[in-house]
Structure 1
């Protein structure tokens, strides 16, 4: 059996009781180590679980997953995922691959940023399509996420922006020369995301729903003991320091009075978009 086990967002104890039972009894335990991060490292997980944990990086998951999927045909393999197993398309692909070759699987869900973002007080059913904002380079500056944000704002919906994570990435030169040299990990901040969004706004010829005065919420380390939330305009977000990763950014749509009351716990001076 292949078990995909969600770990939640905080420390090792955020795993569910069912998930912990699976980990303790599994023949092998893998930790997916590139779509998100925990507050602790592999060693802390091993100590809490009482089990060896094998790190599974991007290359392993995307190119060598067949090895542990096939192992799950005759043994129990636990594949640990920060957040919820279906919070990333990579893990959906694993399920499809297991199904294709007839390997049984089970999923143990947990909290993820997709629902935990409700900690800022915005109602989850008032969110529209979630977007991902990638790191730009000098020659690659995609902005397809902008149209989705505009569409959400047009309908009065909030937008959760998932910010880019670069773990075990290679430069183009090292990839071409097949050199196993990797860049240091990078995690996009709310400030970097705001800067890219403002550049997109300024590049548009026509007026957009998203402006520098649009209300935003920056969240950092959701579910961790030092979780931080900041509410301000997109322009003000450029100078809003939320500290260590992971960060996410919410573009605020139409605000319900209860949402406004909650947001004012973080910034008493905010003005709702409808009254601006």
Structure 2
């Protein structure tokens, strides 16, 4: 049996009981380590699981999947995935490879940013298409995400923007020369994400995003509390795009980061819940009322 097991969002203890039982029954345990990261190292996982964990990078998962599947028709093998196996990044390819080899597959689900984003108070029913935002280069600035955001906003829906990470990436020169030399890990910050979004808005000029009147919510390390690994914790900050761009990077907490662009179907309860995290409550409520049409006065909360 091939088990594809979601690990959740934070540390080694987020695995489900069913997932832990599958890990303990497995002869080999792989950790998919390129589409996202867990906030603890593999040694913490090994100590908790009582199993050796083999790190599976992009090359192994995409081009050497047979190594993972080897013997899985006769014994249990586990592939661990941060979040949920079919969350932000699906793993359909390895499932299809297993099926074609006659290997049974069982998927064990867990929390991912796709549902844990509700921690900021926005209703999951009000989300549209999620988009990914990659690091821009001088010669490569893909903007297909803009069209998805425009479609969501046209329907009044929120947009979850997943920010890029670069783990075990090669420079163009090293890639061209076939040298297995990797760049240091990089994680997109909220200010950089906002800057890229507004750069594309300035180029496209379709009035989809406005620095002063588009509300957004930044999230980091969702699901972690103060007692988490390395004393990290969940952080939520909301305001206009302009306000978020002006905050120091440390105000958003440690990576991984995500950003939500607020749609016009904003409910007044969403506004009231999220204002606890606002850069400026007065601006948050004013824009929600004047631009998004939320009726808030009868539910006014005391100022702190």
TM-score of the superposition, structure 1-length normalised? Answer: 0.96
The reply to whether residue 229 of structure 1 matches residue 244 of structure 2 is no
Query: Structure 1 residue 100: deviation in Å?
Result: 2.1
In structure 2, the partner of 1:25 is 25
Query: Structure 1 residue 92: deviation in Å?
Result: 1.7
Structure 2 CA distance for aligned equivalents of residues 89 and 101 of structure 1: 23
The reply to whether residue 212 of structure 1 matches residue 219 of structure 2 is no
Structure 1 CA distance for aligned equivalents of residues 107 and 154 of structure 2: 36
* Structure 1 gap segments, 5+ residues each: none
In structure 1, the partner of 2:112 is 112
Structure 1 CA distance for aligned equivalents of residues 54 and 118 of structure 2: 32
Q: How large is the RMSD of aligned CA atoms in angstroms?
A: 1.2
SS in 2 for 1:114: helix
Structure 2 CA distance for aligned equivalents of residues 90 and 171 of structure 1: 26
Query: Structure 1 residue 224: deviation in Å?
Result: 1.4
Alignment of 1:261-276 (within 5 A): 261-267=272-278, 268-269=281-282, 270-271=284-285, 272-273=287-288, 275-276=290-291
Structure 2 CA distance for aligned equivalents of residues 64 and 109 of structure 1: 24
In structure 2, the partner of 1:69 is 69
Query: Structure 1 residue 151: deviation in Å?
Result: 0.9
Structure 1 CA distance for aligned equivalents of residues 38 and 44 of structure 2: 10
Query: Structure 1 residue 76: deviation in Å?
Result: 0.5
The reply to whether residue 168 of structure 1 matches residue 179 of structure 2 is no
Query: Structure 1 residue 101: deviation in Å?
Result: 2.1
SS in 2 for 1:264: helix
* Structure 2 gap segments, 5+ residues each: 226-232, 292-304
Structure 2 CA distance for aligned equivalents of residues 83 and 89 of structure 1: 9
TM-score of the superposition, structure 2-length normalised? Answer: 0.88
Deviations 1:165-192 (A, max 9, x none): 1110001111111111000011111111
Contact 1:27 1:75 in 2 (8 A): yes
Contact 1:161 1:248 in 2 (8 A): yes
Structure 2 CA distance for aligned equivalents of residues 256 and 159 of structure 1: 15
Match of 2:270 among 259, 272, 275: 259
Number of aligned residue pairs: 275
Contact 2:216 2:240 in 1 (8 A): yes
Contact 1:153 1:210 in 2 (8 A): no
Alignment of 1:241-252 (within 5 A): 241=249, 242-252=252-262
Of 182-191 and 261-270, more deviation after overlay is shown by 261-270
Structure 1 CA distance for aligned equivalents of residues 140 and 289 of structure 2: 35
Of 38-47 and 263-272, more deviation after overlay is shown by 263-272
Structure 2 CA distance for aligned equivalents of residues 106 and 198 of structure 1: 42
Structure 2 CA distance for aligned equivalents of residues 153 and 274 of structure 1: 17
SS in 1 for 2:208: coil
